[in-house]
Amino acid sequence: MRWAELLDVLTDSDRKREVVLERATETERMALFLLRREGWAAQVTPREIKEYDIEILKPGAKCAVQIRNQRAKVHLGQVEKFLDFLAQPNAKNFTDGVFISTSGFTPSVYAYLREEKIANLRLAIMREHQLIFDCEKIDASEEREKTTYIGVFTCKGGVGKTTISAHLAGAFALNGYDVGLIDLDHQQNLRKILGEGVYLSSTKGSLGSVISVLTKDEWDEGDYKDTKIVICDCNPEFEANPREYIQKFDYCLIPTTLNPLGINKNADVIKRTLASIRRENQTAELFVLINSLQTDEPNRNNLLNQALQTQFKQMRELDARLHYINPADVAIRFSKQLLYWGFHLFDGSKPQLAFKTVGRYSYPRMDFLKLVDYLELQTQVQQSKSISAGGCTY
C-alpha cells in the first residue's frame, strides 16, 4: 500500500485540518499521520521556514522535526546542520529535535551522537508505515567482505599526515571497525605517540574497537582477520614506501592547506604526488583534503578555495579519479586539540586521540567522522557507476 493510500484512513475531521497539507510532500504527510498516531499534535511548518519541516507538541515537549527522503543514508553533515539550528536562539522554544529518515543513518551519525552524549536529538527511520526510534540496530552496516586500504600521502612533509592518519583510524573505530594503522614513515611517529595501539570502548553495551599500530613488516591480513580497514601513514619520500602497499590503496588522501603564499606551491605538490602514486597504482581514488582550516576567515577562505579549485580543475581533466574535497563539505578544522595532540609524551598521561569534547562539541571528532562518511559515500557512488556500466570501471 502506498503512503497516499494509507492516508485515506484519516477521519473527516482530520481531513478538514489537512487543508494546509496541500503544500506538503507525500513523505511529510505520512510522517504527520504516524506522529499523530503516536499522540503528538503535529503540523507542517510555513513554506518560508527551511530549517525544519514539522512541529510536534505534547504536554511538556515541543519538537522541531527534520525529514529526509533520499536514497543514500543521512550522513553526519546533514545532522550537524540540524544540530546547529537547534543551538540557535530562534530555536530556544523547542525542547528537542527529531530527525526522520526513510533510508536510515550512517554509522558516523550514531557514533557522534553517542560519543557527544547529544540528548536533545532523536533519530527515527520511517519504514513500512511505522516510525522506528530505536533504529541503530536496523542500520547496522553489513560486514565488509574485503579489506579497504587507505593511504595518507603527499610529497611534502609537515602537512599533518600522521595526525590525519591516526584520527581517521579513530573515526573508523568509532564506526565499529577494528583498524590497522601502518606506520610507513621512517620517523615512526605513530609508534612514538600511540605505542602499540589504542582501544576505543563502546558506550552502547557492546565491545569497542581496536586500533593496532604496526610497522610495514608486522601487518599481515591473515593475522588480523577481523581488521577490514587499513590506514597507511606514508613517507613523504615516495620511493621509501613499499610498492606492495601503494599498489593496494583503494583511497589515498592528499592533505594540503589554504595558504595564500602556498596555493601555487600546493598545486605543484599535488601534481607531483599524483604522478608518484600513478606510477604504482592506476585505480585508487585520490582525495585532496584541506587540513588546519581557519574557520574564522570565511571570505579569505572562499577566495583561496576558488584559486585552488581553478588549478585543481586542470589536473582533474587528466585524471577522473582525482577529487578535490570542497572544505564546505568536509575539512579538518584548526583546533588546539589537534595542535597539542601527543602532549601525553610530556605530561605522562595515557595515549589517546584528540577527540575530547571542548565547549559544545568535539570538532576533530565531527570532522573525521564526516570524512569517513564522505569516503564511504564515494564508495557507494563508484559501485553504482560500475553496476550501471555493466561492470565497467570508470
Q: Are residues 255 and 310 in the same domain?
A: yes
In a domain, 393, yes or no: no
Q: Are residues 112 and 160 in the same domain?
A: no
Residue at 241 is within a domain: yes
Residue position matching grid coordinates 527522503: 69
**Same domain for 288 and 337:** yes
* Segment 77-84 mean pLDDT: 96
pLDDT at 158 > cutoff 90 = no
How far, in Å, CA of 20 to CA of 9, rounded? 18
Claim to verify: residue 221 and residue 121 sit in the same structural domain: no
- The residues, any chain, with a CB within 8 Å of residue 332's CB and separated by 6 or more, are 160, 164, 255, 289, 290, 291, 292, 293, 338, 364, 367, 368, 371
Residue after which a domain boundary falls, among 95, 119, 139: 139
How would residue 314 be classed by pLDDT, with cut points 50, 70 and 90? confident
What digits encode the pLDDT tens for the residues 218-243? Answer: 999 999 988 999 999 999 999 999 99
The number of folded domains in the chain is 2
Does 394 fall in a domain?
no
The pLDDT, as a whole number, for residue 205 is 58
What grid cell was written down for 380? 557507494
Which H or E run includes 304?
helix 298-318
Q: With respect to residue 188, please indicate whether it lies within any of the assigned structural domains.
A: yes
Domain range for 120: 3-139
Cell numbers at residue 149, please? 586500504
Confidence of residue 80 (pLDDT cuts 50, 70, 90): very high
Segment 211-215 mean pLDDT: 95
Residue 379's CATH number: 3.40.50.300
pLDDT of residue 139: 81
Find the mean pLDDT for residues 71-78: 94
Q: What is the per-residue pLDDT for 47?
A: 79
Is 31 domain-assigned? yes
324 versus 12: the higher-pLDDT residue is 324
Does residue 315 belong to any structural domain of this protein? yes
Asked whether residue 236 falls in the same domain as residue 376, the answer is yes
Residue type at position 150: I
Asked whether 58 and 41 are in contact (CB, 8 A), the reply is: yes
CATH code for position 109: 3.40.1350.10
Same domain? 201 vs 127: no
Q: Is residue 41 part of a domain?
A: yes
- pLDDT reported for residue 203: 61
What pLDDT was estimated at residue 142? 64
Going by pLDDT thresholds of 50, 70 and 90, the confidence category of residue 166 is very high
Q: In a 3-state reduction of DSSP, which class is residue 301?
A: helix
Q: pTM (2 decimals)?
A: 0.86
Same domain, 23 and 56: yes
**Do residue 108 and residue 187 come from a single domain?**
no
Whether pLDDT at 179 is above 60: yes
Same domain, 330 and 258: yes
Query: Per residue in 94-140, pLDDT tens?
Result: 999 999 999 999 999 999 999 999 999 999 999 988 999 988 888 87
pLDDT, tens digit, for every residue of 15-31?
Answer: 444 444 556 789 999 99
Q: Are 126 and 163 contained in the same domain? A: no
Task: Name the range with the highest mean pLDDT among 52-56, 347-351, 354-358.
Answer: 52-56
Co-location of 107 and 186 in the same domain: no
Domain boundary among 97, 122, 139: 139
Q: What is the mean pLDDT of residues 349-364?
A: 86
Same domain, 238 and 345: yes
Which of 85, 109, 139 lies at the terminal end of a domain, its last residue? 139
